Structure 1
Amino acid sequence: MSVEIRYYGEVAGRVRDDLLEVYADVRAPLSHLANYSVEAFAERLDRSAGEAGFGLVLGYEDGVVVGYACGNRVGAGDRYWGRMAEPLPEGFADEPVLALREIGVRAGWRGTGVARRIHDGLLAGRGESRVTLMVNPLAGGGKVLAVYEGWGYRAFNSQAATADSPRLVVMVRER
């Protein structure tokens, strides 16, 4: 597979349309849940895209978007930290981190290394020393959590991101 990785600093026009299309495909099995609807994702996307240090990576094969990852920089006062189940360790949020907000790959490209390439494409060239993400520990029967652990992430907290979402494991890794 020859997947081209493209980085974008903003979401508009065709890029936004492509992202929403691939999101709808990736999350189709969960789309009946309010938190996974395309509309809910679009709201989260627009909010994140308007925040500091936003970045988006799309993976293309033969002009078709096969996967995506997006995130933005979060600092000490960011609401991202406010919903944690446990207090943060002293000084944990003093330096900005990259919050990986979403990552997804179409079914035909899963297990091929494309997700890792897209992930690494998002992290490339960023100045943050750490990256954090949230994952449903039940996703894929626990396989998604195991993938992140294999990429060097470790669980350090939990939270319910929204009233409609399950309790998520919050993970972190050094870049």
Structure 2
Amino acid sequence: MSESQIRVVRLDGSAAARAQDAFRLVYAEAFAEPPYAETEEAVSGTFRRFRAQTRKSTFLGALATAEGGQPVGMAYGYPLGPQTGWWDQLTEPVPEDMSREDGRRTFGLMELAVRAAWRRQGVASRLHETLLAAVDAERVLLNVHPDSEAAVAAYRAWGYRKVGDAHPWAGAPLHDVMLLNLG
């Protein structure tokens, strides 16, 4: 299927919550693969958090669908609040000026994934662009598993730079923390 036959739409939190099954399908398939190898239990945990995240007034999502509405990709996130623990997960501290958050400065890109059959067709780039077109922040922050070479390469190509390493949750392997300055 060509890129032009794939529709990408931006969703607010309530619309994303209604489309949770589509987000979950993409997530579960993409993150079952190495290096993530997420179990159904891990996926369930992610989607318990997803329900809470979609209730944030600042939540933004993007969903890519093929003809007939089949979900092929998704992305979502929200601005980081002043009490975010994101910076606390780094193995080495960063300067206070980098880690200062106010609820508007940094958009946290929580997830971006494309199902295997639709990769290398520009879907991830379109999801990223669609999501960020509505972001009113200075920068975007994300975590990525360093062994996910295609994802790391895409983020670098889009202008992200690595600012540290982190264990984003208890028991998580080391992830690259990447930052994209906007504007």
How far apart are residue 36 of structure 1 and its match? 7.8
- The residue type paired with residue 69 of structure 1 is A
How far apart are residue 164 of structure 1 and its match? 2.8
CA contact (8 A) 2:22 2:71 kept: yes
1: distance between equivalents of 2:38 and 2:115?
A: 19
Deviations 1:130-167 (A, max 9, x none): 0011001012xx23212211111000011101123211
Query: In the alignment, which residue of structure 1 is the partner of 2:93?
Result: 87
Query: In the alignment, which residue of structure 1 is the partner of 2:12?
Result: 9
Distance 1:56-1:172 versus aligned 2 partners, 3 A rule: same
Stretch deviating more after TM superposition (160-169 or 128-137): 160-169
Query: In the alignment, which residue of structure 2 is the partner of 1:166?
Result: 173
How far apart are residue 34 of structure 1 and its match? 5.0
Distance 1:43-1:107 versus aligned 2 partners, 3 A rule: same
Q: State how 1:52-131 maps to structure 2 within 5 Å.
A: 53-62=58-67, 63-92=69-98, 93-94=100-101, 96-131=105-140
CA contact (8 A) 1:35 1:41 kept: no
- Please tell me whether residue 134 in structure 1 is matched to residue 138 in structure 2: no
2: distance between equivalents of 1:25 and 1:123?
A: 24
- Please tell me whether residue 25 in structure 1 is matched to residue 29 in structure 2: yes
TM-score, with length taken from structure 1: 0.88
Stretch deviating more after TM superposition (120-129 or 27-36): 27-36
Q: What stretches of structure 2 of length at least 5 have no aligned partner?
A: none
SS of structure 2 residue aligned to 1:165: coil
Stretch deviating more after TM superposition (49-58 or 65-74): 49-58
2: distance between equivalents of 1:117 and 1:94?
A: 27
How far apart are residue 19 of structure 1 and its match? 1.0
Distance 1:32-1:168 versus aligned 2 partners, 3 A rule: closer
Stretch deviating more after TM superposition (47-56 or 114-123): 47-56
Give me the identity figure in percent.
30
SS of structure 2 residue aligned to 1:88: coil
1: distance between equivalents of 2:74 and 2:137?
A: 20
Q: What stretches of structure 1 of length at least 5 have no aligned partner?
A: none
CA contact (8 A) 1:34 1:40 kept: no
1: distance between equivalents of 2:54 and 2:118?
A: 26
Query: In the alignment, which residue of structure 2 is the partner of 1:147?
Result: 154
CA contact (8 A) 1:8 1:56 kept: yes
2: distance between equivalents of 1:138 and 1:132?
A: 18
User: How many residues in Structure 1 have an aligned counterpart in Structure 2?
Assistant: 172
How far apart are residue 105 of structure 1 and its match? 0.3
> CA RMSD for the aligned pairs?
2.1
Stretch deviating more after TM superposition (158-167 or 20-29): 20-29
2: distance between equivalents of 1:113 and 1:165?
A: 29
